[in-house]
Amino acid sequence: MPAFTDNVVVITGASEGIGRALALALAPQRPKLVVSARSRERLASLAEECRLLGAEAIAVATDVTDERQCQELIGKTVDAYGRIDTLIANAGATMWTRLDELEQPGVLEQVMAVNYFGAAYCTRAALPFLKQTRGRIVAVASVAGLTGVPERTGYSASKHAMVGFFDSLRIELADTGVTVTVIAPDFVVSQIHRRAMGGDGQPLGETPMQESKIMTAEQCARLIVDAMEKRRRLLITSLRGRLGRWFKLFAPGLIDRIASRAIRQRH
């Protein structure tokens, strides 16, 4: 039997990008999905697609920056399915500007609110139920949470916060049977880049990435599902990212240059 058959899986940030790809990748295993994001229309469409692929699926519109809504998301999941087996904290926001060109410092708070506090709020609300099922927590962070990335200061900070939070939580949960998997994707084709906030606080409107040269959300989702099944501690989706962990220890100047070049080349 596939690992996620009848598994109750909550996915935040599910309306597009990696979250949507994860829902569609899991659906053929016939899980019980709860897809969550702010867009009701996109969620409804996604839930229907998942049902056609074999999953049970409900859509719950949620703004993860609101702790009350995070609690309601978990409550509606338990009301619908009676339990929670897997929480995928995937909702994300990003920025793309040098700090000395940032006109609206509130951008830093917005990115932190979605990426870090949103993940923390949902996890805290789900934790009692995950303990009951010896479930899984999957935190979609970024390689930017493992090293510095120019023009992404606020984003990198929020992902570093995520990694620290979930690494700490893993230790707290060591005797509960609940596992924590941190995902560190490299650049992935996603709408998040089009919605990245510039120095004026407004969305860029078009991606700054060379999308033909970076991983698709579907490719990323397949790697994540495999890591979830194996309850891996950490998944870094690119060779560059894996090597970067070691370069940071032994040749920190080199990893700075690699990160700078990646941003200049946009892949």
CATH number, domain at 169? 3.40.50.720
pLDDT of amino acid 214: 72
pLDDT, tens digit (0-9, with 9 covering 90-100), for 76-113: 999 999 999 999 999 999 998 999 999 999 999 999 99
**Phi, psi angle pair for 225, to nearest 5°:** -60, -40
d(CA 50, CA 56): 7
pLDDT of amino acid 21: 97
Total number of domains constituting the chain: 1
In a domain, 262, yes or no: no
Query: What crossing angle do the helices spanning 118-133 and 153-172 adopt, rounded to 10°?
Result: 20
Active-site residue identified among 81, 116, 121, 155 = 155
Residue 203 DSSP symbol = B
Q: CA gyration radius for the chain?
A: 18
Question: What pTM did the predictor assign?
Answer: 0.92
**What's 5-48 look like in SS3?**
CCCEEEECCCCCHHHHHHHHHHHHHCCEEEEEECCHHHHHHHHH
In a domain, 227, yes or no: yes
In a domain, 182, yes or no: yes
155 in active site: yes
In a domain, 256, yes or no: no
d(CA 131, CA 173): 9
What is the domain range of residue 221? 8-238
pLDDT of amino acid 234: 98
pLDDT, tens digit (0-9, with 9 covering 90-100), for 14-46: 999 999 999 999 999 999 999 999 999 999 999
In a domain, 245, yes or no: no
In a domain, 266, yes or no: no
* Percent with pLDDT over 70 in the chain: 93
Alpha-carbon separation of residue 204 from 115, 191, 215 (angstroms): 19, 11, 21
Is the per-residue pLDDT at 210 higher than 80?
Answer: no
d(CA 22, CA 89): 12
In a domain, 14, yes or no: yes
Name 164's Cβ contacts closer than 8 Å, sequence gap at least 6. Answer: none
Burial of residue 38 (number of CB atoms within 10 Å: 0-12, 13-18, 19+): middle
In a domain, 267, yes or no: no
